[in-house]
Structure 1
């Protein structure tokens, strides 16, 4: 049905994206200007020109961010995250060009409506396509036929995964194995031994061969790959050591040498880091402007109620285990650095001031950390940073604790919006932090910020 037409489908995807963006442009124009009292300073043709530029920019960014690769095994959330990133980069490009050429007559409201509609239209279109393809594949159409080389535990696990996900549109035709001649009920048949691969490929329709053999027969890998490439059949390898890896592995290259990384961290990619950094700077800047009256009021009350500095600086461990000074409004009586760095805050802590207790309960003491974000020491969302004294303790007591330092620490995080704030389990917090690190998307950040606002800033566990 769609077999062998992946390149055409990619072009169709890009073309429909462009059409959706232009449809969004037309609707944005109607909503903004097609009214009696709404007059544009520029003619429709000028706006149309920039709408086309935006559409072309989006397609270019989408190609660069691999948005148009085949998505049979890709999660829809991952696709939407890339889609949103492409839109945001495109609108930044458009705004930069308009600023550079000093085109100030373009309606900002129009651009805002256009951007939202473009994201909405392309997302809906992709959702409909994704659901349609899943429905088609569940009914047995648009299948890709898979042959599994290896009927051991790895091959069986791959088969079971395919059976649980019919929406992938993958159908196993059988197994090849040198030692097993028959499998229990519920599995496809053994079609022969590994050296009979060429005969099976010539007699049956096979789109992909999955190598699921143990490492002790590693010399056979090359033979299988050569035969598959000779027949024009794709081949993939499931490493036999996947069950000893602590996280989702990924491939990278050092010159001509392929390397398997044991933990895939999305923010290791330069484009993701830049995108998150831009988001952080914009969000922190807006937050500082909006909360400046509150911060001014806090400064005045602190000055009147308690002697000592207004802003409390404390050493914390951040990205790549580097230390930095984290800012907070002072909530305790002035004390020595040794006391503040090595003592855990407890309930009814006598060191707290009355106003400081209020600041800690409402999390208002953390507002100065938006300046840490602007400095690049923190992010709006990420694992909460800890003091070096406690980091040295936790890394010995909590497995994988130090992995949290692979990304910038945050003002709020997945653990915090999941109820793990203050005096709660460190191990549970780390599990949530690792989930965030391995599954980061800009949509995940927005979800965490949303939950932070919705859940409220009051922390019952904050002492």
Structure 2
């Protein structure tokens, strides 16, 4: 409870700082342009309206998750989000400049304000991020798991994570859980493998809480449902209400209207790209520009999804259904370009207009792969309780090569928390993902330093320092 109030208080302080910086950016811009004899003072003489405009920036920043917990996230992600949120806010300024009578901006003012405000916000947030990293970085971690293979997989994720936040001390097999006390004084936190049985997990969590140590848990799928539950009271008994994930009729109507309006707008804006690709793809490789493929949609119903062809024609004739791999030889030259910036997905806007898909939702998959995933992950079918989407929470938070079980956790988190506001946030943050090509790249080779650490970890030589 205290942490919740503390977090909300810090977010309010941060929002006030942002408003001050945006408003101050307007004032500085006006002063600079006046001294350069470029800006006329009369154009921003209404300072109360200017303050209201600055305050509205908080909503844009919220949509780009700038008030989320940025601990343990990358500084590149932060800078991308600031620049994109300021670009969106500048777009609002342009609209206001066209339609508002009492607050008109010249193009020179809008451009200069964008540069100054972005610089002020970036410098401030980067300073806060660095202070946060100084205070909360270099946490010493022990991984607890059933076997070294599970520990290796988790360790690799830590090593691939943004540098400076964690330092792996070693792996503790579950068979040695009685010796965890020997490691408590050496580390800051423990991470528990998702394969640990519940009774062992409870015992370790109780032990860590008793000794004031942070615990990182990879949630089981049913635990994600508990996170979305509501606490209730039956007589003097506390219970958690977990309802099946479904949208209300009103939510379905809002989501459908949102899909139709945004899809039509995006189709109009991207129509030149659609036309160019429709002509270019057949000229550079044999076959049609657009192909259709059967996917499984809402409630397990099949439908035809449309995509720009990024592979050679009949790419799966010899292999059957297989997932694309890194440097897949079946992908054409044009295909690599359009896949990198997601332009191959544009024809799916017509699927959205037809009602087969939504703009935001779990990515659709083929029945062949769904049947395979269900055998390993029975909860996979829960993804089908909402319409599949062109983009989704897993596409924003994960990478192209993220394992299916980890993507499923993120998809189920979306299913439990689906809302119009969340859809808007995901759509806007998808722009950042498109502009960060590394998020769409395949598995990177593990560097030599990481290979040595993983080798030591596998041999249990990192445990005793």
TM-score (norm 2): 0.47
TM-score (norm 1): 0.47
Larger C-alpha radius of gyration, 1 or 2?
1
Does 1 or 2 have the higher relative contact order (CA < 8 Å, sep 6+)? 2
